[in-house]
Structure 1
Amino acid sequence: MERGERVIESLADIAYKVIADRIITLDIRPNEAINESQLSKEMQMGRTPIREALKQLESERLVVTQTRKGSFAAPIKLTDLLEVAQIRQALEPLAAELAAENVRPEHESALRGHLQLLAALSGRPAEQNELMRLNLEIHRQIYSIAGNLHLEDTLLRYAHLSTRIWSQILERRSPVREHTLELGPIIQAVLDKDSAQSRTLMDAHVRNFNEYIANLR
């Protein structure tokens, strides 16, 4: 399989994405029990792929399992934020640089689609959860295009942890529209194959957002 190519998703992959999204955006609250039976009905699949997904989420510190009690959304530790932010500050600019170097024609449609979504934000109201989901999805796309699977796995883990903490901090705050819109020029730099500009803009974006969150705490 060539670098960056993806195999067809398994049921466990699908279950992972659905459950992770709900935990990250606080649809499943910290310490809340995860109902395998309900998820099985909602996703129309057996419990085995759901349990596989929960094991992966446990390894990523998004789920905790208690003997004879089941699985729960992990508690949020605000003290983790600084350490996670340090890792992302170091690696996010590298991912953007590599994405600009590795972007191919088949990536352009999705990137331009995200540019259109960002452009539309200026003309309508947006909920915090929508902005956080869009922010995370764009970062995920950049990790994938970067073509380094080890870097992608690392950044996905820490993007999920930090987005979850941000979602709690920002729950009752004004939508982070301007910070989300900063991703537009980054996407354009990737499309332009400008690796230096992609790195510089991503470095500033991560730094600005970390500083914004730090000032709210």
Structure 2
Amino acid sequence: MAEGVRESSTSQLMAERAYVYIRDQIVTVGIPPGSPVDEEKLMRELGVGRTPVREALKRLSVERLVTVYPRRGTFASEIQLDDELWLTEVRVPLEGLAADRAARRASAKERRTLERLSEDITREIAGGADMLPLVLLDAEIHRAVYRAAHNPYLESTLTTYLNLGMRIWFHRLSRLPDLSPHVLDQREVIAAILERDGDLARRTAEDHLQGCSHSIRSNA
């Protein structure tokens, strides 16, 4: 039985590693929207068999990052500008809820992490950081807030939406305006959380996301 448990654990680890790798390839448009997903290539890059790759693709299909066409194969999902509007429409109230709950529930360790991330924003922008590290830092802050909300359903849902939203950012990165003012807004979100002001955290989180969305759609 112990051997079977070890094999199952190893299989789950391989599937998770495959999922993270393929997800990141799609989110950062390393696999461009509409492109076929080459299972054989992914198997070689990951050093795994077909099963972990296919399990990962099933998860990514549920998360709308890949689209499966019978008898044609699996493709990175297309991106439409309307996707950003629809995502923002559902993300705004949930992001606000996560920030509110983080303000009320964050542990001491999570609060220290958020404080460090706030300092990272100041350092990156003062150093003239390119768009890419700013986008990645913004995403890291969102994930830290989701964890600090201590609601696994909220965290799971928002992480899925964040991945979809980041993919749009990466797809349009060369055409986006300077987003550093919007990333700076995250310091206000973090400050409200650290002050345990749930109402203010909710408002600033919602304003941050709406501001980013407006900038993206204004430069379509």
TM range (shorter): 0.7 to 0.9
TM-score using structure 2 length: 0.84
1:126-141 → structure 2 map (5 Å cutoff): 126-141=129-144
Do residues 153 (structure 1) and 156 (structure 2) align?
Answer: yes
Q: Which consecutive unaligned segments of at least 5 residues does structure 1 have?
A: 1-8
User: Relative to structure 1, is the Cα distance of residues 27 and 125 closer, same or farther in structure 2, using a 3 angstrom cutoff?
Assistant: farther
Code of the aligned partner of 2:85 = L
DSSP 3-state at the match of 2:128: coil
User: Relative to structure 1, is the Cα distance of residues 110 and 12 closer, same or farther in structure 2, using a 3 angstrom cutoff?
Assistant: farther
User: Relative to structure 1, is the Cα distance of residues 137 and 19 closer, same or farther in structure 2, using a 3 angstrom cutoff?
Assistant: farther
Aligned equivalents of 1:173, 1:196: Cα separation in 2: 30
What is the aligned counterpart of 1:21 among 19, 24, 27? 24
What is the aligned counterpart of 2:202 among 183, 194, 199? 199
Do residues 213 (structure 1) and 216 (structure 2) align?
Answer: yes
* Alignment deviations for residues 145-201 of structure 1 (CA, whole Å, 9 cap, x no partner): 211222222222222222222332332334411111211221232233221221121
Aligned equivalents of 1:125, 1:45: Cα separation in 2: 40
Q: CA deviation at 1:28?
A: 1.6
Contact 2:177 2:219 (C-alpha < 8 Å) held by counterparts:
no
Contact 1:31 1:73 (C-alpha < 8 Å) held by counterparts:
yes
DSSP 3-state at the match of 2:33: coil
1:151-190 → structure 2 map (5 Å cutoff): 151-190=154-193
* Alignment deviations for residues 12-58 of structure 1 (CA, whole Å, 9 cap, x no partner): 23322222222122122111222333333433443322221111111
Contact 1:128 1:174 (C-alpha < 8 Å) held by counterparts:
no
Contact 2:39 2:50 (C-alpha < 8 Å) held by counterparts:
yes
Do residues 107 (structure 1) and 139 (structure 2) align?
Answer: no
Code of the aligned partner of 1:129 = L
Q: CA deviation at 1:68?
A: 4.5
Structure 1 or 2, whichever has the larger Rg, is 2
Corresponding residue for residue 36 of structure 1: 39
Aligned equivalents of 1:73, 1:112: Cα separation in 2: 36
Higher helix share: 2
1:85-124 → structure 2 map (5 Å cutoff): 85-124=88-127
User: Relative to structure 1, is the Cα distance of residues 57 and 24 closer, same or farther in structure 2, using a 3 angstrom cutoff?
Assistant: same
Contact 2:177 2:215 (C-alpha < 8 Å) held by counterparts:
no
Q: Which deviates more, 129-138 or 81-90?
A: 129-138
Q: CA deviation at 1:205?
A: 0.7
Aligned equivalents of 2:143, 2:120: Cα separation in 1: 16
